[in-house]
Amino acid sequence: MNTMDRREVNEAINAADEAIEHLKRARQCLNSAGNWGIVDLLGGNVLTGFLKHSKMNNAEREIDEARWALQKFSKELRDVDGASSIHINDFLTFADFFWDGFVADVLVQSKISNAKKQCDEAIMRVQQIREELRRM
Protein backbone atom coordinates (compact mmCIF):
# COMPACT_ATOMS: atom_id res chain seq x y z
CA MET A 1 0.00 0.00 0.00
CA ASN A 2 1.48 3.34 -1.01
CA THR A 3 1.64 6.45 1.16
CA MET A 4 -1.41 8.06 -0.46
CA ASP A 5 -3.54 4.93 0.02
CA ARG A 6 -2.39 4.59 3.64
CA ARG A 7 -3.33 8.24 4.28
CA GLU A 8 -6.82 7.67 2.85
CA VAL A 9 -7.28 4.59 5.04
CA ASN A 10 -6.14 6.51 8.13
CA GLU A 11 -8.53 9.36 7.35
CA ALA A 12 -11.39 6.87 7.05
CA ILE A 13 -10.41 5.21 10.35
CA ASN A 14 -10.32 8.60 12.09
CA ALA A 15 -13.75 9.47 10.66
CA ALA A 16 -15.07 6.10 11.88
CA ASP A 17 -13.71 6.76 15.37
CA GLU A 18 -15.43 10.16 15.46
CA ALA A 19 -18.76 8.65 14.33
CA ILE A 20 -18.51 5.86 16.90
CA GLU A 21 -17.79 8.36 19.68
CA HIS A 22 -20.89 10.43 18.87
CA LEU A 23 -23.04 7.29 18.55
CA LYS A 24 -21.83 6.05 21.94
CA ARG A 25 -22.59 9.42 23.54
CA ALA A 26 -26.04 9.39 21.96
CA ARG A 27 -26.56 5.87 23.32
CA GLN A 28 -25.58 7.02 26.82
CA CYS A 29 -27.99 9.97 26.66
CA LEU A 30 -30.77 7.71 25.40
CA ASN A 31 -30.10 5.28 28.23
CA SER A 32 -30.31 8.08 30.77
CA ALA A 33 -33.49 9.44 29.15
CA GLY A 34 -34.98 5.96 29.32
CA ASN A 35 -34.16 5.66 33.00
CA TRP A 36 -35.77 9.03 33.73
CA GLY A 37 -38.72 7.97 31.57
CA ILE A 38 -39.28 4.93 33.78
CA VAL A 39 -39.25 7.15 36.87
CA ASP A 40 -41.71 9.44 35.09
CA LEU A 41 -44.00 6.49 34.30
CA LEU A 42 -43.91 5.35 37.92
CA GLY A 43 -45.24 8.65 39.18
CA GLY A 44 -42.52 11.17 38.55
CA ASN A 45 -43.04 14.87 38.78
CA VAL A 46 -42.23 17.95 36.73
CA LEU A 47 -38.52 17.59 37.55
CA THR A 48 -38.32 14.00 36.29
CA GLY A 49 -40.10 14.99 33.09
CA PHE A 50 -37.71 17.91 32.66
CA LEU A 51 -34.66 15.69 33.23
CA LYS A 52 -35.96 13.09 30.76
CA HIS A 53 -36.48 15.71 28.07
CA SER A 54 -33.11 17.30 28.82
CA LYS A 55 -31.41 13.93 28.25
CA MET A 56 -33.43 13.47 25.06
CA ASN A 57 -32.25 16.87 23.84
CA ASN A 58 -28.66 15.87 24.57
CA ALA A 59 -29.20 12.64 22.64
CA GLU A 60 -30.66 14.57 19.72
CA ARG A 61 -27.56 16.78 19.56
CA GLU A 62 -25.29 13.73 19.59
CA ILE A 63 -27.38 12.00 16.93
CA ASP A 64 -27.05 15.09 14.74
CA GLU A 65 -23.29 15.09 15.32
CA ALA A 66 -23.19 11.37 14.55
CA ARG A 67 -25.05 11.96 11.30
CA TRP A 68 -22.47 14.54 10.21
CA ALA A 69 -19.62 12.28 11.30
CA LEU A 70 -21.13 9.34 9.40
CA GLN A 71 -21.45 11.46 6.28
CA LYS A 72 -17.78 12.36 6.61
CA PHE A 73 -16.98 8.68 7.15
CA SER A 74 -18.92 7.76 4.03
CA LYS A 75 -16.99 10.37 2.03
CA GLU A 76 -13.67 9.10 3.34
CA LEU A 77 -14.64 5.50 2.49
CA ARG A 78 -15.25 6.51 -1.12
CA ASP A 79 -11.58 7.52 -1.25
CA VAL A 80 -10.42 4.06 -0.16
CA ASP A 81 -10.23 1.40 -2.85
CA GLY A 82 -11.88 -1.87 -1.82
CA ALA A 83 -13.52 -0.50 1.34
CA SER A 84 -17.08 -1.34 2.33
CA SER A 85 -19.75 1.14 1.40
CA ILE A 86 -21.99 2.83 3.93
CA HIS A 87 -25.33 4.41 3.06
CA ILE A 88 -26.07 7.29 5.41
CA ASN A 89 -29.62 7.89 4.21
CA ASP A 90 -30.93 4.64 5.66
CA PHE A 91 -28.28 4.30 8.36
CA LEU A 92 -29.62 6.84 10.84
CA THR A 93 -33.19 7.34 9.69
CA PHE A 94 -34.34 7.01 13.28
CA ALA A 95 -32.90 10.47 13.95
CA ASP A 96 -35.45 12.00 11.60
CA PHE A 97 -38.57 10.60 13.25
CA PHE A 98 -37.35 9.96 16.76
CA TRP A 99 -38.34 13.34 18.15
CA ASP A 100 -41.66 13.83 16.32
CA GLY A 101 -45.03 13.63 18.01
CA PHE A 102 -44.47 12.27 21.50
CA VAL A 103 -47.97 11.87 22.83
CA ALA A 104 -47.58 9.64 25.88
CA ASP A 105 -44.73 8.60 28.16
CA VAL A 106 -45.11 4.96 27.12
CA LEU A 107 -44.61 5.93 23.49
CA VAL A 108 -41.54 7.92 24.52
CA GLN A 109 -40.09 4.87 26.25
CA SER A 110 -40.71 2.75 23.17
CA LYS A 111 -39.02 5.27 20.89
CA ILE A 112 -36.07 5.63 23.26
CA SER A 113 -35.69 1.85 23.30
CA ASN A 114 -35.82 1.63 19.51
CA ALA A 115 -33.31 4.46 19.12
CA LYS A 116 -30.93 2.76 21.56
CA LYS A 117 -31.08 -0.44 19.50
CA GLN A 118 -30.41 1.50 16.32
CA CYS A 119 -27.45 3.30 17.93
CA ASP A 120 -26.05 -0.07 18.95
CA GLU A 121 -26.46 -1.37 15.39
CA ALA A 122 -24.82 1.73 13.92
CA ILE A 123 -21.87 1.42 16.32
CA MET A 124 -21.43 -2.24 15.40
CA ARG A 125 -21.55 -1.57 11.64
CA VAL A 126 -19.07 1.31 11.80
CA GLN A 127 -16.72 -0.74 14.00
CA GLN A 128 -16.84 -3.63 11.49
CA ILE A 129 -15.92 -1.34 8.61
CA ARG A 130 -13.20 0.31 10.70
CA GLU A 131 -11.69 -3.12 11.39
CA GLU A 132 -11.73 -3.87 7.65
CA LEU A 133 -9.82 -0.64 7.11
CA ARG A 134 -7.24 -1.50 9.76
CA ARG A 135 -6.62 -4.86 8.06
CA MET A 136 -5.90 -3.13 4.73
Q: In which domain, by residue range, is 13 found? A: 3-135
Identify the pLDDT of residue 1: 73
Query: Would the pLDDT of 15 be above 80?
Result: yes
The percentage of residues in the chain with a pLDDT greater than 90, rounded to a whole number, is 15
3-state secondary structure of 89: helix
Q: Which helix (H) or strand (E) holds 125?
A: helix 105-135
Q: How many CB atoms lie within 10 A of CB 111?
A: 22
Model-wide pTM > 0.75: no
What would the pLDDT profile of 69-109 be if each residue is shown by its tens digit?
888 888 888 888 766 655 555 555 545 444 444 334 556 77
Least confident of 5-9, 92-96, 97-101, 120-124: 97-101
As a whole number, mean pLDDT of residues 35-53 equals 84
Count structural domains, the chain.
1
Query: Would the pLDDT of 14 be above 90?
Result: yes
Burial class (CB in 10 A: 0-12, 13-18, 19+), 4: exposed
Identify the pLDDT of residue 100: 44
Q: At what angle do helices 46-78 and 3-41 cross, to 10 degrees?
A: 160
